[in-house]
Structure 1
């Protein structure tokens, strides 16, 4: 009974009989050391003097009665469990006793060894768990002290606050000074923060959600602290807020974010309730024979649900526990004594709980017949043990992973434990430190010893200490700056250990020193910089400026806004730049203009950068440089470049002008645009130098232009005279008077010059007052020189053009000019749907005249005929010398009959004129060929060709005849041919040769057409006609410009319409030849489509002559197999495939098949010959 494992029980019982009975029961339990006290006074003496595990307390004693007995015992019992064992059978008193802290309440009349044993075991286990929990809470308190975090719990119904020791230290209070109520807590908060905190608490009551707030508190000594307060509400099942549990951390001294210590999740106390044990018996076959009704309260099963069934059948244990339980039952039946076993049970609701079972064998006649078992629900204890382990693990995790070095010392100064940070900070390994005395390590700088020693001494005396900044020395001798704090760890009010926390702040110290050095460098830089440097706050207020007075800015007073020193028009630019830097944290720049104290403007270039604080922009730095001189240089350079570009553009533009008028107009427009003016004039000096003529103007009315159109100069202007300067001034004065006379008082005038001689004037003017700068005069002088030379050049060019298009002999426009006018007249007549006549004239027998009288007289005849021609024709008519003895005339808006009358008038005047200087009268009549546009032809080549054909007809008729193209179509019996077929074939060859890509095209088309014609059985005459038509099918292209025929890109709609006319035009040309008239349908319709979508007449099917259908196929085949400007040639096979694809739509499918068959035969024959 005196072994260390025996439980010490104090029995407080005044009835000797009950005392003996209880003693006997306890003796049967075993391992019990019991002492009896018969009075309360005696019991209190035992409790004060000795340690007890359990107190069995009778409430009815000689010197105390009822629940008051328990109330007097509890404070003295210390850690002993009190079990009430009384004869008072009262449920109310039992409940009250449990609430007062009794481990159990047993009525004497019902007690037996089993019940008492179970109660004692439960009480002792509860005591052990409670002590472990208290130890865990002490460790939690130490962890809170390390992390400077205090915990609290608010019982809302009782309005009672529980604070941890650390929380009292944070608030500077002792438990005796704090009323532990909500109102007392609110009173500790800074007055300005109370409303905010109350709102947070009210929000918790509304939402039942956690809260997190940062606010100030006021300590009793008047000092303020900033704390971070977090709380978690607990809500009952009915939705009522029961309590709030939280933490408070002192963050006043924190300069950097520290890794927050994990707070223990175990913020609540374990509440134990009295639970009756389960008593049951198990038979030899592991079947439950009987079980107490208490099983229903623990597992949810009634006794009858379990009795008579084995563990395996019931499923009330986990598989692993079931396996062990069966094995242990077998061992008990074998006579083994087993210690208490712990199993996992499954309740009826499916929940897992832990239970411990004590099993004893029941023996009868030397045989074990069953086992007697007591099962107790230890789920709560198990959870408490797990929670304790979890709390210890968390504490160890914090201890090992905190960034600070932590050392545990005993009260003698010997190091008990350190974390791994000791090596990082001091250079000593853990195994080199643990077990040694703190004083053995010489790591303190002499200047720091006293401060640390004082803190150490105060901590040992239980006083509160602050952080101490120390200059320390590492193991290797290097210096390190640290902050250290020392605190005392007590247990039950007795000092146990010292806790020293060390933090390495070397980096911070170095940063602070570097910052000081940087600030010194910055101030030196800014004070000696030629630029003005300012620092602004977030509102652009000046908080620093290196030059308070500058020669180019107004005085930037500290505290004023930067915008106060910015011109109004530049404020948006500055504000945009500042906002960009503040939002992005990147540098930017802008240019602005400032006005100094004298009112002078200065150009400034400003560079703006952010002032950075950890994680944010806290202001701006601005460097302003005066770039006025640079701007002025840039402006002058830009002006010079602008003038140079203008003059280059002007020279290029004037070089492209072909007339003097164009030169003057373009020069005036460009000059006004360059000078940003809209009124200007250019005068030119007449050839006799007697007057100035207004040849170009802009911005004045026609009336004003008429008023000053001519300025009389007089005879003072002499080329190369000594009075040149005065002459120039004279011209300028005359022009200024003329310009002012039309209401333009302000003007600038410069001379137009060529070869340093005046050629005219260029003037710009305005009605409003304006001083014209020197650069304007300089520009106008340059323009005047350019224009003077350009005018002279265009005049020379016009003279050359006139000479190049005039016939030297007759004075009429020559053949070159005829073609220019011809194209213009065709465009005019086409645009206005008009017409004109073209007359080709040829002097008869002029060759004979030249041979007889000589070419000099012949030339006189030609000049005389030209004179007569020009005289007899109307003013609107245009005669030309076409070449040799041929003349040609364009008669606008003239019908065929009107053209005949004009010719008759010319012939009449010519025949009556003196034609021979020798007074002889040879027959020098003339013949004509006349054609109408557009009825006879629509292109210049066709018009000339047919007019020449008609002239040829007149010459063959004996001369002196006039033939109209419309009269050339003879009757079917007419045997007279207009032209020979050789001429037409030659013309077709000319057309064929116009494009090198299509050279030989007509010949190849004729060959392919003949192949198809022979294959379908055409006669010899039909084949000859087919050959002629194929050769001449493109003769209508004679009137299409080469630029269209050889164009590499897609034709425009207008160009395509012109090309589509060639088939009808070709038919018209060929129709003038009797022997070829039969083939005109073949030429006209060779672009018709078999489905009717072709041109020019939209024929389809058999309406298209078969010869035209054959030529269509041959033309397409040769086109596809020949290189063109816009593509490469196709292979013959691919071309045949394309023909077949369009058979029935564009082409006659039967003819396509015949052609394809002939081509295949040709290939086979050539292959066979090769073999």
Structure 2
């Protein structure tokens, strides 16, 4: 069953408005708007006010320096500002009033508790009928920002002072390759003044630098932000060379270069290399065996001169391969002496016998230098071993000749000694008769030439001989010598 439609409702016409009702609604809307804006202004964290161009305060939303807002109305804003900033604020207010343009100014004041408060004032015009009749001022507290800026300035000053006093060179190069910062060391390293560097490009200061290997690393750090560390040789215009260790790091402004002058170290290293080369040449052409053996891990010979091959028949490589090889070639009867030499750290000379590669035995005289580290620990032994085989054989022959001579003298003294000559004088007389000079006699008997001279004088006195030739001839003629 179909529902019947409800009859249409009659249209009602809006109630007619009157001027009084419209004014009331407008006033209500204005009050609500003023209430909203007043609530917004009064709850704002910033100080908001308005006033005359001469600085007289018409309205302010909160108290300043402990003075409530109602007491500030009618006073001058300049009374709230420190003396040194009043002209700055006055110029800002006058500029806005005169041009209608907004202006900003920073200033400070001292609170009642003695602390300083920093503000930035943003000034705007109040216009009526196209004319500026007043000013609005919004004050924002920037004390924290100012403190942070001051702390940053102090930190930068301390940092700059530290960098300026460093021995290392510190420089910042901008992305346009201009020197943004250099300390005294950089100027000294480059033989330039700071004024010759700051604000100028590297290419202006050092023409041709962009063609060097160094600049390639600088460019890579600048463009790819890849740090690099290197040693760089720098040649001054007068031809003098200097060496620097450079640490190149990317920074916000470009690149930072830390440079350390190592010229003295490089010169010392070069002098050491030259000295070592001279020593090596001397060692490699010396007939003596020169060596250095490391006694801490890894134990082994660090150097063995080529002379060891001529002396022993074993090449230096044999000793490098076996740290104990020297002990192995020491004669078995002398190994105890060898071990005592090392144990007692004897510098020498120590005489030992070595067994050569061909099985022969030689005599060596070894002198040692024991090397210690900074803590006093023995770390190495350096030494020289000299082949004294010929000398030992000569000494042995001389000893045998001396013994033979002394034997003849003893027999002659038992047979006949009319001049009461001593044993030594008889021995010297034998050699005088053989035509030997004082130095030769001294060498053969192992005494000094002066002692020989005294013995000859005694012989001449006892035999009443005028010279040594007469004494020798008479000794043979009289049968004193066989």
Structure 2-normalised TM-score? 0.50
Question: Highest CA radius of gyration, 1 or 2?
Answer: 1
TM-score by length of 1: 0.23
